[in-house]
Structure 1
Amino acid sequence: MNYKGSPEEFPITLLINGFEIAVFQLTNEDLEDWAYGYLYSEGLIEKAEDIRTFEFVEDSNTIYVELQNDFQPDWMITKKKHYTAGCGRGVTFFSMTDVKAFPKINSMRTFTMSFLLKKRSEFAKNSPLYLKTGGMHGACIVHVSGEITVREDIGRHNAVDKVIGFALRNRLEPSNLLLLTTGRVSYEMLSKAAKFGFPVIGSRTAATKQAVQLAKFLNIEVIGYLRGKMAIPYTSAGRVINDLENRPFESVREK
């Protein structure tokens, strides 16, 4: 891998109906997907049609969003903020209690472990910003057809918001989709996936204890350390089938 440059991040201001929400550190790619995904993940919209207009003004690094309904900024001012861990620091307004109130996942779609590993490899080969800089996170939706959609960002949670925004704007049915990510699956990452309704999350790295607890409660299957022929199931809901001979995948036990 030949790195050609450092990863970039920009301070980008988000305004909703003229009210400034915050300044976010983002990679300047697929910002419309990010805005839709972020607003959905935080409960400010429920469907793509809730957004009347989107505009990104590059000169001022500002995103302007107009919602169909009146926006009540007092809700965001008074609600407790939870700052996310990791690079591309963000904030979520959902607590652990809030996330536990999300609908439990009932998808019957199944995947083989070899399919997850194949798609993880395909995802890695189709991450141009990472291949260029070596310092980007990515998130990937695997469609029913097997095709993939990849989004990248300096922040792992931003990348997940981008693929959620893509899925929302394209009216994709979450129960049939697979979410892959390069980043650690922490509680805020799990909450984003749960809010949209992904039945299976696969990551090239670990899942936190809080995320595993939430995943079990919400019936979401989490597979970590998807690398080469390696994988570790953190939770099991019968959706990921080990079809690899002589390879005993063992679940991680909570300590």
Structure 2
Amino acid sequence: MVREFLIRPDPADERLSTVVSGVDQTGRGIETRVVTEKPLTLYLNRQEIVTMMTIGDHPDLLALGYLLNQNMLSANDRVTAIDHDDDLDVVVVRTDSETDFETKMQKKVRTSGCAQGTVFGDIMDNLEHLSLDPDARLKTSWLYGLTQKINTVPSLYLEAGAIHGCVLCEEDRPLVYMEDVGRHNAVDKIAGWMYRNREDPASKIFYTTGRLTSEMVIKTAMMGIPILVSRSGFTAWGVELARKIGLTLVGRARGKRFIALSGHERIVFDLDPDSVPDEDRKHRRKGANAGAEVDA
């Protein structure tokens, strides 16, 4: 069975956005759609860990992925339950035994601002021992297919902007497409989905609409995914870390164009870019506008 878009955005979901009235540059009255932002407080057993600002979908996957990417849970830990109370905006992840982190953590608050992602414990030290699959490959035909599918599927990113999209892919197939007000949240939801479904990360490609920052590189590597792609640009530390840990880093992937600044030995150039059409203007314009908002 071919797997594609097992989870995708639902811009029609009324919980995720709302219509707000205002005026445009001429003073004319307009209505526009804006994304939802609400707090979600995460507990690990009895310990309060963090309050996150999120659009509110998939709280169970967000909680799981956050704990995994912050090294508070390992792939071998047994999660016995995840309880979500929508009225209280609380999610509790329960394990069969308490973890070491519960006695070490103080409450942290993370906002939707991209620079507020918090890295705990010894994650940077753990990067030194990571081994990403050197035999993983990224065919350019897959890359062109992925960008076309992802950029044209209905999403809040195209509908309202001010949001990040992240997609777990395999070859030329988008598997899981998550969105949120912070790129770290969208990544964590995918990490939670991978943990729950016991997905092999070595065969995966990670796509994001946002910048290729150090945070994105760290989270992708922590998930064991060897290839990271974005339609946006790079930061210097993101490139430096990717080269250090052997992550393939591809940015500015729009239409027939892309740039690889790390791990280009994994790329298989199997398709002449001149045979690839330019990105459709309406998607380029929407994507560029939304990208400008989320990258701010």
Instruction: Name the structure 2 match of 1:253.
Output: none
Deviations 1:158-193 (A, max 9, x none): 111111111111111000011001111211211111
Query: 1:139–1:151: 8 Å Cα contact kept in structure 2?
Result: yes
Instruction: Give the superposition deviation at 1:145.
Output: 7.5
- Which residue does 1:110 correspond to in 2? 137
Name 2:104's counterpart in structure 1. Answer: 75
The answer to whether the aligner puts 1:14 opposite 2:14 as a matched pair is: no
TM superposition score normalised by structure 1 = 0.85
Output the CA distance in 2 between the equivalents of 1:186 and 1:99. 18
Give the counterpart of 1:38 among 63, 66, 70.
Answer: 66
User: Structure 2: how far apart are the matches of 1:49 and 1:144?
Assistant: 29
In the TM superposition, 1:193-208 aligns within 5 A as 193-208=220-235
Q: Counterparts in 2 of 1:150-165, with a 5 A limit?
A: 150-165=177-192
**What is the identity, as a one-letter code, of the residue corresponding to 2:44?**
I
Q: CA deviation at 1:96?
A: 7.3
How far, CA to CA, are the matches of 1:48 and 1:138 in structure 2?
A: 28
Q: Which residue of 2 aligns with 1:243?
A: 270
Aligned partners of 1:127 and 1:138 also within 8 Å: no
Distance 2:111 2:33 in 1: 27
Tell me, in whole angstroms, the C-alpha distance in 2 between the residues paired with 1:48 and 1:33.
17
Identity of aligned residues (%): 28
Residues 135 and 54 of structure 1, relative CA distance in 2, 3 Å threshold: same
Distance in 2 between residues matched to 1:49 and 1:18, nearest whole Å: 16
Q: Residue 29 of structure 1: SS of its match in structure 2? A: coil
Q: Which runs of 5+ in 2 are unaligned?
A: 1-30, 275-296
Letter in 2 for 1:75: K
Is contact 2:54-2:112 (8 Å) kept? no
Distance in 2 of aligned mates of 1:121 and 1:25: 30
TM-score normalised over the length of structure 2: 0.74
Distance 1:6 1:180, change over 3 A: same
In structure 1, the gaps of 5 or more residues are: 248-255
Tell me the equivalent position of 1:132. 159
Does structure 2 retain, via aligned residues, the 8 Å contact 1:13–1:62?
Answer: yes
Inter-partner Cα distance in structure 2 for 1:122 and 1:83: 31
Closer/same/farther in 2, CA of residues 210 and 91 from structure 1, 3 Å limit:
same
Task: Look up the SS of the partner of 2:105 in the other structure.
Answer: helix
CA contact (8 A) 2:169 2:206 kept: yes
**Counterpart in 2 of 1:250?**
none
Q: Do the aligned partners of residues 4 and 30 (structure 1) sit closer, same or farther apart at CA in structure 2, a change above 3 Å counting?
A: farther
2:150 paired residue number: 123
Compared CA separation, residues 120 and 99, structure 1 to 2 (3 A):
farther
- Bigger CA radius of gyration: 2
Deviations 1:113-165 (A, max 9, x none): 23112202212223522233222211101135834210110111111111111
The 3 A distance-change label for structure 1 pair 166 and 7 is same
Q: What CA distance in whole angstroms lies between the structure 1 residues aligned with 2:205 and 2:56?
A: 25
2:20 alignment counterpart: none
Match of 1:51 among 63, 75, 79: 79
Q: CA, structure 1 residues 180+49, in 2 after alignment: closer, same or farther (shift >3 Å)?
A: same
